[in-house]
Chain A
Amino acid sequence: MANSYLTSESKKLATWYFTVAATLFGAQLLFGLVAAIQYVIPGFLFEILDFSVARMLHINALVVWMVFAMFGAVYWLLPDETGIETVGIEVGKLLFWVFTAAVTVVVLVYLFIQVGPADATSIWFIHEGREYIEAPRWADIGITVVALGFVANLFMTGMKGNRSGIVTVLMADMIAFAGLYLTGMFYTDNITVDQFWWWWVIHLWVEATWEVYVGAIAAYGLITMIGAHRKVVEMWLWIEVTMLFGSGILGMGHHYFWIGTPEYWWEIGALFSALEPLPLVAMFIHVLYDWGKMQGEESAKGLDRSVITNKPAFTWFVLNAFGNFLGAGIWGFFHTLPQVNLYTHGTQFTSAHGHLAFFGAYATILIGMMYIAVQGKNGIKILNNSTSTIFATSMIVGGVVGMTVALTVAGYSDVIISRAQMGATWAGYFDAQATTWLTQGMVWRLIMGVITFVGFFFLAKDLLTIGKSNIHVR
């Protein structure tokens, strides 16, 4: 690119990944909006773009944009951490184009073919119909190849260059991340076995490997943005890995309460997953503590200036610390115990948790990484907030928190009427859907969704233009 300050090919590739990620983030919000409208106006796009299709696009775009941004963030930090150019960068670039092309084809097929006959061809070429990992089998294989290529680059670079604690954690984490995807690729007639392995991908991604990934990225961010001491940051990172994997791996049990799996999972799932918020508290304390400490060191020198070299990114990192704890931790703990989950399993409550957790734990920090890339690309010493930054951040955060509250309120009637009182029948389900709490909750969710969507345009505008602004220190 012209007038780019980037000399590292790895960082250039990172900006490509971030660009596609941000675009898919927009697509995620767009299709989420369609689904949200359908809750309020059921006839909207009926038999044109049905809820099932809109939601599939909504959640797949979510997973894919996050994976894109995660790959991008690793390509961004590798030269800084290892001190060398990423090994195999040309392969990395090729895989980026393969990945982007595959995702485009998959999205077009979802949109325009939508559904096929009940045979294996549909599984291979349309979609697999398994929430979050719907991608058809040919794309599964493609994604595996791309992911393994990415992991290979990470390993070769980590082994050749300086292997910091952050890189070590990322290496171990990303190989698990790629390997776990394989457990979600086979077909079985046994729905219990199907869901058992399906959770190996979903849970061990979002409640184990992705969280550890976030820990590593947060560590990198603290070192680059406020100059936190590496030794302290990496000690925290190891503590986080201990707690995240210690609770998260067996915490998987909370998905095995009701799918046909043995009763002993009640106990395992209950106590291990109940501990899952602990590392998130640790991460929250760690980020804020380090910030205070570094600022204090600055003040002790008698310097009256902020230690933060990238205001928008640091805002998103702090939002991550808080959002991860609130969305994944608190909203998750709400319904992780089997005696509660018996009623909340598969209700709008889950949806409320899903929204705040994915956003708080992952979207925030990945958006933060995009701002770090903007800073690096434009050769800025201190990146300040623009008006668009303020609008984007407050509208997106306010919108998602608003959606979460609305869905939680809607979840109350779902849980109490449909599950607790009516025993989850067809009639019970629709009785709950007709309650004021649920119908109004859905209207509020839509309003908040629109606010989030508008906020996205501010974000896109900001990411594209903030680098050229003259409010920064260059």
Chain B
Amino acid sequence: MNAMFEPFVDVVPSFFGTLSQGPLTLTIFLHTVIILPMFWIYKQEKARLEQEGN
């Protein structure tokens, strides 16, 4: 388990530095929070299109 989490290596700890816990953790987190709301937009638009289709 220890090998999964790397000790903080940057000069000063910071929020983003803390999220950066080894390969790609920070960037995958950011990509995820950017992409997730698309599902919500998708659902809304789908509902709208279905309504218009009636």
Contacts and interface: CB of A to CB of B under 8 A. Distances in A.
A315 B2 CA distance: 58
A271 interface: yes
A304 to B, nearest CB: 39
A262 interface: yes
A50 interface: no
B12 A262 contact: yes
Given A262-B17, A264-B17, A264-B19, A271 B12 contact: no
Interface band, chain B? 10 to 19
A264 B20 contact: yes
B34 A246 contact: yes
B25 to A, nearest CB: 8
Interface of A: 246, 250, 262-264, 267-268, 270-272
B11 interface: yes
Contacts of B47: none
- Give the top 5 A-B pairs by smallest Cβ distance, nearest first: A271-B27, A264-B20, A267-B27, A263-B10, A264-B16
Contact of B20 (A246, A250, A267, A272): A267
A262 B24 contact: no
Contacts, number: 36
A264 B9 contact: no
Interface in B1-52: 9-12, 14, 16-17, 19-20, 24-28, 30-31, 34
A267 B16 CA distance: 11
B15 to A, nearest CB: 9
A268 B17 CA distance: 11
B17 A263 contact: yes
A1 B27 CA distance: 55
A303 to B, nearest CB: 35
B27 A262 contact: no
Contacts of A270: 27
Contacts of A268: 16, 26-27, 30
19 contacts: A250-B30, A262-B10, A262-B12, A262-B17, A263-B9, A263-B10, A263-B17, A264-B10, A264-B20, A264-B26, A267-B26, A267-B27, A268-B26, A268-B27, A270-B27, A271-B24, A271-B27, A271-B31, A272-B30
Contacts of B11: 262
A271 B12 CA distance: 23
Nearest to B14: A262
Contacts of B34: 246
B38 to A, nearest CB: 9
Contacts of A250: 30
Nearest to B12: A262
A271 B30 CA distance: 10
